[in-house]
A = this chain, B = another copy of it.
Amino acid sequence: MVTIYDIAKSTGYSAPTISKALNGTGGLSEKTRQKILSVAESLGYKPNMAARALTTKKAYLIGIIFEDIYMMRGFEHPLFGGILNKFRSEMENSGYDLIFLSRSFLARKQSYLEHCHHRNVDAVVIINPLSVDEEIEELVHSDIPCVSTNFVIPGVPSVVTANEESGYQAGKYLVECGHKKIGFIAGTIDKYNIASIERLNGLKKALAESGIEYDDDWTEHSKLWTREEGYNSMKRLYERHRELTAVFVANDNMAYGASSFLKSIGLKLPEDMSIIGFDDETASEFFSPTLTTFRQNRNLIGELSAEILMNKLVGIPVNECVQVPAEFIERNSVSKIY
Binding site for B on A (CB under 8 A): 1, 44, 46-51, 53-54, 59, 74-76, 78, 80-82, 84-85, 88, 92-95, 97-100, 102, 104-106, 110, 114, 117-120, 256, 281-283, 285-288
Give the docked Cα–Cα distance between A76 and B99 (Å): 18
Would you give the shortest CB distance from A44 to chain B, in whole angstroms?
A: 8
Q: Which residues of B contact A118 (CB under 8 A)?
A: 46-49
A95 touches B105 (CB 8 A): yes
Report the separation of the CA atoms of residues A117 and B85 in the bound assembly, to the nearest whole angstrom: 24
Contact indicator B46/A50 (Cβ below 8 Å): no
Residues from chain B with Cβ under 8 Å of A49 in the complex: 50, 118-120
The residue from B1, B54, B75, B283 contacting A282, defined by CB atoms under 8 A apart = B283
User: What CA separation (Å) do A89 and B98 show in the bound complex?
Assistant: 16
Q: Which of B74, B92, B105 lies in contact with A105, CB distance below 8 A? A: B92
Given contacts A48-B54, A76-B81, contact A97 B100 (CB under 8 A): yes
Closest chain-B Cβ to A270's Cβ sits at a distance in Å of 15
Question: Which B-chain residue is minimally distant from A76 (CB atoms)?
Answer: B81
Instruction: Compute how far the CA of A60 lies from the CA of B91 in the bound complex, rounded to whole angstroms.
Output: 22
- C-alpha gap A236/B131 in the complex (Å): 51
User: Measured between alpha carbons, how far is A48 from B120 in the docked complex, in Å?
Assistant: 8
Contact B100 A1 (CB under 8 A): no
Q: Which residue of B lies closest to A53 (CB)?
A: B50
Add 5 more A-B contacts to A75-B82, A282-B282, A288-B288 (CB < 8 A): A50-B51, A50-B119, A75-B85, A92-B100, A283-B283
Partner of A117, one of B1, B92, B97, B102: B1
Complex Cα distance, B114 from A74, in Å, reads 29
CA distance A84 to B77 in the complex (A): 13
Q: Are A51 and B54 neighbours in the complex by a CB distance under 8 Å?
A: yes
Give the residues in chain B near A92, CB-CB below 8 Å.
Answer: 100, 102, 104-105
Q: Is A114 in contact with B46, judged by CB distance below 8 angstroms?
A: yes
- B119 near A100: Cβ-Cβ < 8 Å: no
> How near does chain B come to A92, taking the closest CB pair, in angstroms?
5
Residue of B nearest to A68 (CB): B85
By the criterion CB–CB under 8 Å, are B99 and A98 in contact?
A: yes
